[in-house]
A and B are shown apart, each in its own frame.
Chain A
Amino acid sequence: MSNSNGSNPNSRLNNGGLTADEERWLAAGGVGAICGPYESENRYWPSLWMALGFLAFVGFESLMDFCRMMSHCFFVSTPTVATCSMYSALYGISLTLAYQLASGRLEQLADRLVHRYSDRRKLLTDLLVAMAFLVLSPLVLQMVAISYRDPRLSSALEILTASNLIVVVYRSVPWLVCIWILAYLLPRKGSKAARSLQLSTFGLDDAIAAWCARLLAGESVDEEDALELEEHLREEVTALIQGGLLEPQAFAVACRRMGGQEDLSREFAKAQPEVVWRTRARWMLMGVLMMFMFRVVQTTIQLLPLWGLKLGAPPPVDPMVLYRLSEVAIWACGIYLFARFADGGLARLAEWLSRRHGNPRALATDLAFLIAVFIGAQMLWIVAWGPGEVPLSDVTIVFVNKGLPVLLLTCAGIYWLHPRKAQRRLGV
């Protein structure tokens, strides 16, 4: 193992050679420190950013509802004009914010927020406050407006019923889900020990693969960077083995020379902050897109009991109860699936989707499919509920104002932030 360069043991002239420091480190059991069981970070980042994107979307929707209720309560004369102009203003503001964030101007603010929210309690407090404001304030607003406009409604219960409490309640469900998801994900940071490498069963390729996996678990090192670092590590290991070290020793020394993965990840992030933010923004948009997909599935499934009624099956229970129950059940399934696959499967699915969406034709196909399903679901809705319940014009307004622009913007964003494109734009 002693393989220093003859006369000068401190020299690190050839790469098979060890410095005195490295020899001391090896003698003190350094191999065990690197090759022994270690904690491995799971790739939870994509899920975290997807949950945040999902939350941003829900927050945006709640803000829209807030504005819509304002317009309904106080500008009764032309609600459509008021609603549309408010929607446009909101889109303008959000687009400006998104552009500022993507071009790196809001980076510092966002970094500060990310730093603040590494404390779970602060994040959850802020989310609860936001939820209280965005979900409950429309309710209060509407109650005030209704009692003001219609003095006949006297009891609180009457006002609550009139102000469509149920809508507000199920608006708050996504918020609660997001809060729960983030609470679930954040403390998982670097928990689970994925695999341990034992000296007796040391395999160089396995060890290197595990090293790369750990590197990729961070959010700033992409596959190309990891491949480059892996090749470097392999060359160093080969040189050290040629210098007379055993495989585990060579691997341990090479890893030590390479530097800690967390430090590496941090340095990579520092070297290319805008790339990191682009990736984060892309994950957030993927979260919104997945939310859309989830909604489409949800709407379609929810309509099934109503369709049962249409086809003449005797109603076992009140269709409204059935409808709400299926909503709760679908949310529960969604939450379970998210929790089950937050660590890997979800990220892989989103990764596959986002890779697919680098191709404009595939993106356009998916977009057309989603829009078709969306319109189809709205039509089913009208058929199931009857045109008297949900006027066609209302559905169209909601779809044109809310569904379509968000969907289009999300897809455009995913395509724009696609890494291949981003690299070309950065001149890499």
Chain B
Amino acid sequence: MKISKELVAASATPLVLSILAQGQSYGYAIICRVRELSQGEVTWTDGMLYPVLHRLERQGLIQSHWGLSETGRKRKYYELCKHGVQVLETEREHWRAVNAMLNQLWKEEPSCRIAMDPIRTAA
């Protein structure tokens, strides 16, 4: 499934913040987690994650430090800051509100389809 660029951009912040809320992580692990969560349905261009991470870092939502991986190579870890927790809370409220609205509308889907489909209405 190809999700529009705008939606990917909009959902990136809450996704990254929510993943980091579960503990510190690094770029590749975050990408893997997104793949896992979407069952491979949502495809991100891997590299685009990093500008998002850097933007969040500059906004003071997350912070980073260089550490070592299991294999001894350098790796940059990210973790949530206090401000990030607050922003995540706000994001969660917003997304819940949008989600609730859409869910309500889509529960009424059958009537919706009849209204949209004049041939079936006639039949």
| A interface residues, Cβ below 8 angstroms from B | 10-13, 15, 17, 19, 225, 227-229, 231-232, 234-236, 257-259, 263-264, 267-268, 270-272, 426-428
Across the interface, A231 reaches (CB within 8 A) one of B28, B32, B35, namely B28
Q: Are the CB atoms of B46 and A232 closer together than 8 Å?
A: yes
Q: Are the CB atoms of B46 and A258 closer together than 8 Å?
A: yes
Q: A258-B46, A271-B52, A427-B60 are in contact. Are A15 and B32 (CB under 8 A)?
A: yes
Q: Which residues of A contact B76 (CB under 8 A)?
A: 228, 231
Chain A binder among B14-22, B36-44, B113-121: B36-44
Q: Are the CB atoms of B35 and A13 closer together than 8 Å?
A: yes
Name 13 extra pairs, CB < 8 A, besides A12-B43, A13-B40, A264-B47.
A11-B39, A225-B54, A228-B76, A234-B73, A235-B28, A257-B46, A259-B48, A263-B45, A263-B47, A267-B48, A267-B51, A271-B54, A272-B54
Can you list 19 A-B pairs with a CB-CB distance of less than 8 A?
A10-B40, A12-B35, A12-B40, A13-B36, A13-B39, A229-B50, A231-B75, A232-B50, A259-B45, A259-B46, A259-B48, A263-B45, A263-B48, A267-B47, A268-B50, A268-B54, A272-B54, A428-B57, A428-B58
Q: Which residues of B contact A267 (CB under 8 A)?
A: 47-48, 51
Q: Are the CB atoms of A11 and B74 closer together than 8 Å?
A: no
Q: Are the CB atoms of A259 and B47 closer together than 8 Å?
A: yes
In angstroms, Cα B52 to Cα A272, docked, is: 10
Q: Are the CB atoms of B47 and A229 closer together than 8 Å?
A: yes
Residue ID in chain B nearest A426 by CB atoms: B58
In angstroms, Cα B27 to Cα A258, docked, is: 12
In angstroms, Cα B47 to Cα A231, docked, is: 12
Q: A11-B39, A231-B74, A259-B46 are in contact. Are A268 and B28 (CB under 8 A)?
A: no
In angstroms, Cα B28 to Cα A232, docked, is: 5
B96 within 8 A of A: no
Q: Are the CB atoms of A11 and B40 closer together than 8 Å?
A: yes
Q: Are the CB atoms of B55 and A271 closer together than 8 Å?
A: yes
Q: How far is the CB of B27 from chain A (nearest CB, A)?
A: 5
Q: Which residues of A contact B36 (CB under 8 A)?
A: 13
- Which B55-70 residues have a C-beta within 8 angstroms of A? 55, 57-58, 60, 69
In angstroms, Cα B44 to Cα A328, docked, is: 57
In angstroms, Cα B35 to Cα A234, docked, is: 18
The interface centre, meaning the residue of B39, B50, B55, B73 with most chain A CB atoms within 10 A of its CB, is: B50
Q: How far is the CB of B77 from chain A (nearest CB, A)?
A: 11
Q: Which residues of B contact A271 (CB under 8 A)?
A: 51-52, 54-55
